[in-house]
Amino acid sequence: MKLMKAVQVSSPGADFELVQKEIPVPGDNEILIKVEACGICHGDIVAKEGHYPGIKYPIVPGHEVVGLVDKTGKSITKWKAGQRVGVGWHGGHCNQCEECRRGDFGACEKALTTGIHLDGGYAEYMIARPEAVVSIPDELSSVDAAPIICAGRTTFGALINSGAKGGDLVAIHGLGGLGHFAVQYSVKLGYKTVVLSRGKDKEELAYKLGAHFYIDTDNGDAAKQLMQLGGARVILCTAPSGKAIAELIPGLGRNGQAIIVTGAADIMQINPLVLLGEQRSVKGFVSGNIKDALDFTVLTNIIPMVEVFPLEQAALAFEKMMSAKVRFRSVLKMD
């Protein structure tokens, strides 16, 4: 019996625990991945606290996974041992239901989520479905590639699907794990980019990442300041505060939209008249194509900002992510 190290959660709300587990054997339509790096995402709290139906404990979290194909089942034809691959939030789909037949695999009736329905990347090895696997460009290290698989994919996908055009004013609300990607993507896509953040601490970084404007949301009415710039075509909301997001909606220009890519515990209260007058809208976005985000990141030389931790320090890495003390993505690197 060959064993591996893994960090698991044994029950909802339990502490992370480092354990020895048997290295899994891939089934006919499965791939065994030797994990090299795994990003830690706010979405991992779903497995940690049990905020999702159908989780079978113990579970190994982690859905920003990069590693090498180690073994494949006999039905696998595309992926070969030694290839470097990534696996994200979407862990697989049935290819048979009505949504799959429309090509909306994320809405599959039997969709699987990595690190929730399937053991994820807080481990030295993991099993993946072939339809969930993506090739990793040689130009990216495994550590840098890992957070692009979720944080990069989501922010890039939200921006390119927003309807914004080159020269439009795009505001990035929050400059953290998601926001630092979003600013760089926004600039490289040709948008006039403004960063919204509390205080002056991140102003220098915002301009270093290419932002054209910086608004301190603690100093004056940020929505009015956006309108003084002409009104935002898009506000990409990466900071988890419903109250703060609601206060920014009047800063949208006509037909502008606020796109929410992060969860917030509090309720947004928005006066319908604020939406009606200028035909503003609010939407959520959790999709995006991993390959597109990886390729664009390489093409435009966007740099993920990460702090690296060994697998044994997964609990510390998770705590720093949750308390916003990491600059800006925690990544586990395997020995």
pLDDT digits (tens, 9 = 90+) for 13-41: 999 999 999 999 999 999 999 999 999 99
The residues, any chain, with a CB within 8 Å of residue 7's CB and separated by 6 or more, are 16, 17, 18, 19, 60, 61, 122, 123, 311, 314, 315
Co-location of 237 and 131 in the same domain? no
What is the per-residue pLDDT for 211? Answer: 98
Co-location of 273 and 296 in the same domain? no
User: What is the pTM assigned to this prediction?
Assistant: 0.95
Residues 141 and 66: their CA atoms lie apart, in Å, by 9
For residue 190, what pLDDT band results from cuts at 50, 70 and 90? Answer: very high
Within-domain flag for 157: no
β-bridge pairing 16-22 and 3-9:
antiparallel
What are the residues facing 213 on neighbouring strands? 194
Mean predicted confidence (pLDDT) in 207-235: 97
Within-domain flag for 328: yes
Co-location of 169 and 264 in the same domain? yes
Co-location of 118 and 8 in the same domain? yes
Domain that holds residue 183: 162-284
The residues, any chain, with a CB within 8 Å of residue 235's CB and separated by 6 or more, are 170, 171, 173, 196, 226, 245, 248, 249, 251, 252, 256, 257, 258, 259
N-term to C-term CA, the chain = 20
Co-location of 210 and 310 in the same domain? no
Co-location of 10 and 145 in the same domain? yes
Single-letter residue type at 206: A
Co-location of 193 and 269 in the same domain? yes
What's the CATH code of the domain at 183?
A: 3.40.50.720
Within-domain flag for 249: yes
What's the CATH code of the domain at 56?
A: 3.90.180.10
Residues 324 and 335: their CA atoms lie apart, in Å, by 26
Co-location of 248 and 297 in the same domain? no
Single-letter residue type at 224: K
Does the pLDDT of residue 304 top 90, yes or no? yes
CB 9 within 8 A of CB 56: no
Within-domain flag for 155: no
For residue 298, what pLDDT band results from cuts at 50, 70 and 90? Answer: very high
Does the pLDDT of residue 1 top 90, yes or no? no
Co-location of 86 and 197 in the same domain? no
Does the pLDDT of residue 61 top 90, yes or no? yes
Does the pLDDT of residue 263 top 90, yes or no? no
CA atoms within 13 A on the CB side of 265: 3
Q: How many domains in the chain?
A: 2
Co-location of 234 and 329 in the same domain? no
Co-location of 80 and 128 in the same domain? yes
Within-domain flag for 78: yes
Within-domain flag for 156: no
Co-location of 274 and 329 in the same domain? no
Q: Which residue has the tokens 């997964």?
A: 314
Mean predicted confidence (pLDDT) in 270-294: 95
